[in-house]
Structure 1
Amino acid sequence: MSELNPTFMDELKKAISSTRFSIDDFTYDGDEAGELLRIVFKYDNEYSFVLSEEGVIEEEPNLFGTGTISKTVTRLFSYESPGRYKKSSKINVNGFEYVSDRIVNWCENLHRELTLSGSDNEEEDVKRAIKEQFEFNIQNPESKFTKEEVEVLYSKLDSLYDKFKDLSERYQISESQLASLHDEIEKLKDSASMYKKGLWSNITRNKITDLIFTLLKSKEGRELIFDSIKRIGS
């Protein structure tokens, strides 16, 4: 069991209760050597918060001569999975009074990870479905577009932008987002005369799929623009 005082444990559990989670969503222990506390998410033990005291060697100036003196000091660390930027992070905690703050931060990271892990697979499935409907009918993919073919692509990309613009008010696409979209479409138009057909079609399909997800959050909005997409690929 944890070596921490019951009153301090109550404080840490109150910190958890202040987040999106309940204290009943976790187990609390400290089984392994050197661990003061181990908090594990009940529904996925990949996610945990471990508090430990460790001896570390530090160097300090030698007051009686040149160089430094090595000494071993005890420091407090938290091992947080997930971390803010990495799957697991080791944090030097300045004191026990800061542990509650670390736990709150960890819970925020956990919430973000759970939110994304659930939506990533769904989003990839939808993106895959969009790309399957958006296939270019490309002859000789290793060749480049002719001037006439480029002009046709320009017209189709302009039509796609107009479709987004028509949907802007209904689906709350802002002026700045439309301006950004216009810039992206202009870049796709520019690259049509420089890239090989097959390369351009792959890049464009991926880019337009990303634009759909960025600007049109609802399923209905995405479906409304499919016809314009198909016309570009035909």
Structure 2
Amino acid sequence: MKLKNSVINRIKTELESGDFCKEDFEILESEQKDSIIKIIFKPKKEYYFEIFETTIKRKRVDRSPLANLSGLNHEYEEEENATLTIESPGNYKVVESNQVSNLDAAINRIESWTTNIREEITQTSLNKKMEIEEDLSWFQERVDKDIENPEDNFTEEEAHRIHDKLETLRKRIEELETKIGCDESIKIAAEETIQKTKDDLKIYPKGIWYKTAGNKLLNLMKSIVKTQEGRQVLAETVKNLLK
């Protein structure tokens, strides 16, 4: 079934109702049986929206006066026209189907589908951040295992050595910020975080300092890290604090 241009234009309007523009999508006249139209999200082609008009069988119960008099609930099947959408991503599943009342109702679901795309992309980014956090769980374990005399304060020599490492880290972060183009607020946060960890050397025992400083630095780096190279810098610089 070929849709009118006015209907295609309405679909394009729905595609622009969220965070995307119509150019982000490809609208196809599907060759699949009963399929009216298929929309593909160009940046990630496994995300699609398809509308079908088909017939489905439903079970009915004969509730006529004669059936009621006989006391029998006679069941029978009846075919009816149905409009369906197949959406990926769906509200809860990777692929979902929805039966709607008509073509207008199907088109109205497009905005919800584009919202699901945005949420899925956002969640994927969040999952990557969570992976970074999981990858860095070793730090606290290393502190418990490798730091000798965690209740003692740092000697002047130890504090000086860590101070130098923090200064090296500050310079590495500056290089990374310049390379990836961080905004000013992140640069200020980086300076404040490293200065605070330096100041804490004079106050906290070793075990507490390593854990609190480690958390500060890891949180800072996670706000900067966007690439695999950044992750490597993160791992190398934090590990160096434990040497």
Q: TM-score, normalised by structure 1?
A: 0.56
User: Which has the larger displacement, 12-21 or 58-67?
Assistant: 58-67
Quote how far apart the aligned CAs of 1:57 are: 0.7
1:131 alignment counterpart: 137
2:131 partner letter: E
Quote how far apart the aligned CAs of 1:19 are: 1.0
Quote how far apart the aligned CAs of 1:122 are: 3.5
2:40 partner letter: V
Is it true that 1:112 corresponds to 2:119 in the alignment?
yes
Deviations 1:108-150 (A, max 9, x none): 000111112133224312431x312110646xxxxxxxxxxxx
1:7 partner letter: S
1:7 alignment counterpart: 6
Checking the alignment, whether the CA contact within 8 Å between 2:84 and 2:106 is kept in structure 1 is no
- Give the SS at the match of 1:111: helix
State the distance in 1 between where 2:129 and 2:46 align. Answer: 21
1:13 partner letter: K
Structure 2 unaligned blocks of 5 or more: 68-72, 146-150, 152-188, 190-214, 225-243
Out of 91, 104, 113, the position equivalent to 2:98 is: 91
State the distance in 2 between where 1:132 and 1:60 align. Answer: 61
2:60 partner letter: E
1:45 alignment counterpart: 45
Deviations 1:162-184 (A, max 9, x none): xxxxxxxxx9xxxxxxxxxxxxx
Checking the alignment, whether the CA contact within 8 Å between 1:12 and 1:99 is kept in structure 2 is no
State the distance in 1 between where 2:94 and 2:20 align. Answer: 20
1:17 alignment counterpart: 16
1:68 alignment counterpart: 75
Q: Percent identity?
A: 21
List aligned pairs for 1:73-222, cutoff 5 A.
73-128=80-135, 130-135=136-141, 137=144
Is it true that 1:54 corresponds to 2:54 in the alignment?
yes
1:132 partner letter: W
Q: TM-score, normalised by structure 2?
A: 0.54
2:31 alignment counterpart: 31
Quote how far apart the aligned CAs of 1:101 are: 2.2
Quote how far apart the aligned CAs of 1:218 are: 5.2
1:48 partner letter: Y
State the distance in 2 between where 1:218 and 1:17 align. Answer: 31
State the distance in 1 between where 2:75 and 2:7 align. Answer: 37
2:174 alignment counterpart: none
The number of residue pairs the alignment matches comes to 154
**Superposition RMSD on alpha carbons, in Å?**
3.5
User: Which protein is bigger by CA-based radius of gyration?
Assistant: 2
